[in-house]
Amino acid sequence: MDPFAGAVQTTEQLAELYEPATARAWSKDVGTLDAAARALVAAAPLVLVGTHDDEGRCDVTPRGGPAGFVTVLDDDHLAIPDATGNRRLDTITNVVATGRAGLLFVIPGRDQTLRVNGRACVTAAPEVLDRVGAVGKPPRTAIVVRADEVYAHCPKAFIRSHLWDPATWPHGAAVPSPAEVMLAHLRDPQRTLAEEEEYLAEALRTRLA
């Protein structure tokens, strides 16, 4: 079976499958970082950053730090500090290539999230870096996003997934460990599970900051 066979090709076809969105769904986009949006950003220790390259290949990556690690610069702009990573630079390369980003701010225990979409850039300007908080080492760059769209996302996905309910979390062998996943994906027959476990432990111990 080809799962792409018979795919929807036009927005007109979509309109035949779905009812129109309500006026409320459109009007909740405030298009600015107002007091409510700022409070949600300040409470979020995690933001998911969606980008794409100039050929349309998409990427979503988590960025985390202490609550409030993302800085609201003014009513229209916010800045996400760079942090220690694997140096692939997927996200910031995409932002440089296309100048766009979509953000989803997640707050522990809260089912409502905040979406911010808009133009974006990568900056090393001291006047910006001086205003953002470091997540570990001082950031070399920051992603600045102009808040062209700002709206709270409904909680249905979090309610349906029971994300914050520990009783639903997988335990034990139900999910492979981080070391088991990395060992499978590295595809190095000379590598052992014990070596991968030690590598990951050392990385978190010495390279998190």
Output the pLDDT for position 203. Answer: 86
Q: Which fold has domain 12-161?
A: Pnp Oxidase; Chain A (2.30.110)
Mean pLDDT (10-residue bins), the chain, 209 residues: 94 94 92 97 98 96 95 98 87 97 97 97 96 90 97 95 95 89 94 93 83
User: Where does 76-136 show beta strands of DSSP type E?
Assistant: 77-81, 100-106, 113-123
- Dist CA 85 CA 70 (whole Å): 17
Cα distances (angstroms) measured from residue 55 to each of 51, 89, 94, 132? 12, 17, 10, 31
pTM over 0.85: yes
Output the pLDDT for position 155. Answer: 94
Output the pLDDT for position 84. Answer: 77
Output the pLDDT for position 10. Answer: 96
Output the pLDDT for position 106. Answer: 98
Torsion of CA 119, 124, 130, 135, to 10 degrees: 80
Domain with CATH 2.30.110.10 in the chain: 12-161
Q: Is the dihedral of CA 125, 131, 132, 134 positive or negative?
A: positive
